[in-house]
């Protein structure tokens, strides 16, 4: 089983994660295209830096209008922190006229839903932002829908989260692990005064995650980093059983003496997990005979956004000869309750059948092949070291087909031909 391991000995932030993903082999063009697809005036700048003797990759989000780094508080260790501007001032009479230009959580959700993104990446990005909005709503005792993000902070936070989600999903890993998280120490300046590290939003997001404080007196883990880490659903262990194949280092902004301000990402194979070649999943089913095709299609999109592994709809004959639809959802056990609630709310069913099953899966990874239509990813499924399936990534192929004005099947055939040549080589 292919796994990823995040070592958060210097904390975690959005820019550090993007740098680690780049350093481990995620395509730069993929991240740049994702930033452009958001259409919020953001671009990415990549550089190689030194952090206490460690060569690492630094990724900055730039404001297209000014060409400057899209950050709100440059004094912080990780400039993607936004806990001083991601809460709603609409409910505070002392801040009624401040930060009037920005985006609400509802607006950001619509922006992400309308962007051209792979379904798994969109679902991960939405989950991270939902967690972030929920944390802010709880801290300030306001409804989640009214949580407001300052314009500048929204640009870099949206870009960080969405690009990280796309990069993480592009690796095609089966499971994620992480070390305990170093939150740093000292105090941080928030909109309402000084707070001890971790800041309120970060502390709320890190509930249930092992943390500690060591090293320099700075904020090491930001709300953005904590939200992505939690949305990813990592298992937190010291060191997983892994045969490492690639290692990447993502840099934070500062370079303190004798403290490597980096996030380390290791990618490899978990030999212990590969013996089972599978995982335990929850299966949720309901049969309905009074739901329109539009309602079913909407429900299928929603369950994927909420973290389902897969969803299927099949025609069935129900009692009294009535034609109906059987909706089947696969998810990890920790998402079962949320998806049960969604199905009961979104469909016309009066009940669900729920069970747990073993799912046998191929180990998946991505490779990039060059074609006449540009670089396109291919997903490879393997078992016990043998490659069994090669499949062009649909989103990449669809984009190339639109850009070059050719049929989708022509692009996919070109990708498979290029993949065959790569295997023969």
7 found inside a domain = yes
Q: For residue 312, give the CATH number of its domain.
A: 3.30.70.1380
Give percent above pLDDT 70 in the chain: 86
Q: Which of 22-31, 204-213, 305-314, 377-386 has the lowest mean pLDDT?
A: 377-386
- Alpha-carbon Rg for the chain, nearest whole angstrom, is 22
Tell me what pLDDT residue 91 has: 30
Q: Which candidate, 9, 263, 28, 38, places its Cα nearest to that of 161?
A: 38
The pLDDT of residue 174 is 83
Domain that holds residue 162: 2-71+102-269
Same domain (yes/no): 109, 224: yes
User: Which of 74, 83, 265 is CA-nearest to residue 164?
Assistant: 265
Residues 382, 291, single domain; the answer is no
Are residues 299 and 408 both part of a single domain?
no
84: in domain:
no
Helix (H) or strand (E) holding 18: helix 14-24
Closest CA to 165 of 232, 233, 102, 66: 232
Mean per-residue pLDDT, 330-347 = 91
141 with 206, same domain: the answer is yes
Residue 158 inside a domain? The answer is: yes
Structural domain ending residue among the three candidates 238, 269, 300: 269
What's residue 333's pLDDT?
A: 84
Q: What's the rounded Cα separation, in Å, for the pair 423 and 418?
A: 9
Does an H or E element contain 274, and which?
A: helix 271-274
Residue 96 in domain:
no
Is residue 55 pLDDT above 90, yes or no?
yes
Give the C-alpha separation, 121 to 395, whole Å. 11
293 in the same domain as 336:
yes
pLDDT for the residue 67:
60
pLDDT at res. 45? 95
| Residues 131 and 250 placed together within one structural domain of the fold | yes
Mean pLDDT confidence for 17-45: 94
Encode pLDDT of 111-157 as tens digits: 998 898 988 899 899 999 988 988 888 888 888 778 887 655 588 89
Per-residue pLDDT tens for 270-306? Answer: 865 444 446 788 999 999 999 999 999 999 999 988 8
User: What confidence score (pLDDT) does residue 74 get?
Assistant: 32
368-383 as b/e: b if 16+ CB within 10 A: bbebebeebbbbbbbe
More confident residue, 76 or 253: 253
Structural domain count, the chain: 3
Within a domain: residue 78?
no
pLDDT at 47: 96
Question: What pLDDT shows up at residue 207?
Answer: 87
224 and 328 in a single domain? The answer is no
Judge if 154 and 233 occupy the same domain: yes
Q: What percent of the chain has pLDDT over 90?
A: 52
β-pair type (386-392, 54-63): unpaired
Do 157 and 230 belong to one domain? yes
Are 288 and 393 found together in one domain? no
What pLDDT is stored for residue 101 in this prediction?
52
pLDDT of residue 153: 59
Q: What is the pTM of this model?
A: 0.63
Q: For 403-418, how does the pLDDT look when each residue is reduced to its tens digit (9 = 90+)?
A: 999 999 999 999 999 8
Together in a domain, 374 and 356: no
Q: Is position 54 within any domain?
A: yes
Indicate the pLDDT class of residue 76, thresholds 50, 70 and 90: very low
State whether 242 and 154 are in the same domain: yes
Domain harbouring 378, CATH code: 3.10.20.300
């Amino acid at each position: 089983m292919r796994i990823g391991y995040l070592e958060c000995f210097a904390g975690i932030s959005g820019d550090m994660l993007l740098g680690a993903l780049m350093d481990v082999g995620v395509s730069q063009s993929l991240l740049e295209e994702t930033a452009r697809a958001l259409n919020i005036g953001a671009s990415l700048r990549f550089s190689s830096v030194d952090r206490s003797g460690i060569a690492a990759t630094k990724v900055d989000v730039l404001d297209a209008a000014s060409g400057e780094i899209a950050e709100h508080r440059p004094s912080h260790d990780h400039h993607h922190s936004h806990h001083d501007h991601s809460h709603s001032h609409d409910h505070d009479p002392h801040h009624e006229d401040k930060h009037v230009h920005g985006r609400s959580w509802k607006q950001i959700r619509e922006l992400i839903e309308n962007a051209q993104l792979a379904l798994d990446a969109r679902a991960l990005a939405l989950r991270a932002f939902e967690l972030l909005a929920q944390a802010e709503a709880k801290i300030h005792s306001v409804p989640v829908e009214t949580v407001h993000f300052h314009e500048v902070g929204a640009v870099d936070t949206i870009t960080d989260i969405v690009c990280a989600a796309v990069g993480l999903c592009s690796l095609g890993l089966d499971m994620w692990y992480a070390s305990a998280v170093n939150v740093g120490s000292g105090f941080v300046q928030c909109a309402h005064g000084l707070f001890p590290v971790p800041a309120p939003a970060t502390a709320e997001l890190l509930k249930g995650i092992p943390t500690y404080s060591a090293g320099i007196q700075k904020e090491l883990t930001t709300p953005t980093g904590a939200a992505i880490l939690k949305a990813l659903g990592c298992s937190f262990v010291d060191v997983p059983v892994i045969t490492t194949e690639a290692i990447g280092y993502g840099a934070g902004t500062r370079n303190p003496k004798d403290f490597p301000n980096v996030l380390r990402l290791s990618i490899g194979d978990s030999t212990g997990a590969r013996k089972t070649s599978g995982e335990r999943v929850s299966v949720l089913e309901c049969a309905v005979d009074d739901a329109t095709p539009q309602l079913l299609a909407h429900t299928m999109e929603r369950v994927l956004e909420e973290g389902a592994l897969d969803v299927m709809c099949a025609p069935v004959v129900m009692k009294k000869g009535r034609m109906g639809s059987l909706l089947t959802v696969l998810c990890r056990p920790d998402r079962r309750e949320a998806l049960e609630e969604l199905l009961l709310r979104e469909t016309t069913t009066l009940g669900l059948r729920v069970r747990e099953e073993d799912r046998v899966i191929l180990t998946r990874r991505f490779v990039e092949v060059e074609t006449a239509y540009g670089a396109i990813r291919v997903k490879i499924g393997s078992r016990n070291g043998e490659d069994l399936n090669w499949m062009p990534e649909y989103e990449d192929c669809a984009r190339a087909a639109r850009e070059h004005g050719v049929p989708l099947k022509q692009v996919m055939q070109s990708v498979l031909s290029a993949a065959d040549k790569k295997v023969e080589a």
